[in-house]
């Protein structure tokens, strides 16, 4: 009988120690998470109706000009490739192109390629966040002018943004204001 009594007391001590350990652990967790949180609570996504926030739109826009920067190149084909998505667009009369990417991670790598008749093709690989800045992309003519020939050539339909003809005011490329194209091509991520 003494053994049973001793066994019962050992059992009660074990249960008491376990209960004390659980109470101590719960108290420590309460204090740690209420008075010293690991990190701030994230702000609620979306609006007051708890709808998810709309994915951000990344604008990829710019202008294609000749290497001297004096002539906008019209109808250049600008191809944007993001993963398996490939879209292209022709530049407008002022050499502008514009894409809007919805649902893409700004850290995603993408490539942009520009081709125009009479110019060497240009290809660049950048992160989307770096492409989002307005870019003036310069194409080099396939045939450079002779050293003694001051002309820079022209492409039919190209917009001249350099010096005016004799007797008219001059405009340098720095004076020509770039205005983003108003109708960007929308590209939506396939998630």
Residues 22 and 69 in one domain: no
Residues 24 and 100 in one domain: no
**Residue 170, pLDDT score:** 44
* pLDDT-based confidence at residue 188 (cuts at 50, 70, 90): low
Residues 115 and 140 in one domain: yes
**Residue 169, pLDDT score:** 45
Closest by CA to 60, choosing from 101, 24, 20, 90, is: 101
Average pLDDT on 159-186 reads 52
Average pLDDT on 39-50 reads 57
Residues 140 and 179 in one domain: yes
Residues 125 and 179 in one domain: yes
CB distance 114 to 75 below 8 Å? no
Evaluate whether residue 14 is within a structural domain.
yes
Reduce the secondary structure of the chain to three states and give it as a string: CHHHHHHHHHHHHHHHHHHHHHHHHHHHHHHHHHHCCCCCCCCCCCCCCCCCCCCCEEEEEEEEEECCCCEECCCCEEEEEECCEEEEEECCCCCEEEEEEECCCCCCEEEEEEECCCECCEEEEEEHHHHCCCEEEEECECCCCCCCCCCCCCCCCCEECCCCCCCCCCCCHHHCCCCCCCCCEEEECCC
**Residue 47, pLDDT score:** 57
Domain encompassing residue 35: 1-40
Segment of 50-54, 75-79, 156-160, 176-180 carrying the highest mean pLDDT: 75-79
**Residue 27, pLDDT score:** 79
Please name every residue paired with 122 in a beta bridge, in sequence order, or none if there are none.
114
**Residue 111, pLDDT score:** 92
**Residue 50, pLDDT score:** 60
Residues 35 and 93 in one domain: no
How large is the C-alpha radius of gyration of the chain?
33
User: Tens digit of pLDDT for each residue in 4-42?
Assistant: 677 778 888 888 888 888 888 887 877 776 666 555 555
Evaluate whether residue 52 is within a structural domain.
no
Residues 35 and 94 in one domain: no
Number of structural domains in the chain: 2
User: Tens digit of pLDDT for each residue in 94-146?
Assistant: 999 998 888 888 888 999 999 999 999 999 998 888 887 767 889 999 876 55
């Amino acid at each position: 009988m003494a053994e049973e009594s001793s066994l019962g007391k050992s059992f009660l001590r074990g249960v008491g120690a376990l209960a004390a350990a659980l109470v101590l652990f719960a108290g420590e967790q309460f204090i740690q998470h209420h008075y010293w949180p690991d990190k701030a609570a994230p702000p609620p996504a979306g609006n007051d109706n708890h709808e998810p926030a709309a994915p951000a739109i990344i604008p990829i826009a710019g202008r294609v000009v000749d290497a001297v920067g004096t002539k906008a190149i019209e109808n250049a084909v600008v191809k944007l490739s993001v993963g398996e998505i490939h879209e292209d667009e022709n530049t407008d009369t002022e050499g502008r192109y514009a894409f809007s990417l919805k649902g893409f991670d700004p850290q995603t790598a993408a490539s942009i390629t520009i081709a125009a008749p009479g110019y060497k093709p240009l290809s660049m690989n950048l992160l989307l966040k770096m492409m989002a800045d307005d870019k003036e992309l310069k194409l080099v003519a396939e045939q450079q002018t002779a050293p003694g020939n001051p002309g820079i050539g022209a492409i039919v339909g190209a917009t001249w943004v350099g010096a005016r003809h004799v007797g008219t005011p001059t405009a340098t490329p720095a004076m020509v204001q770039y205005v983003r194209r108003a109708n960007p091509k929308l590209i939506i991520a396939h998630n």
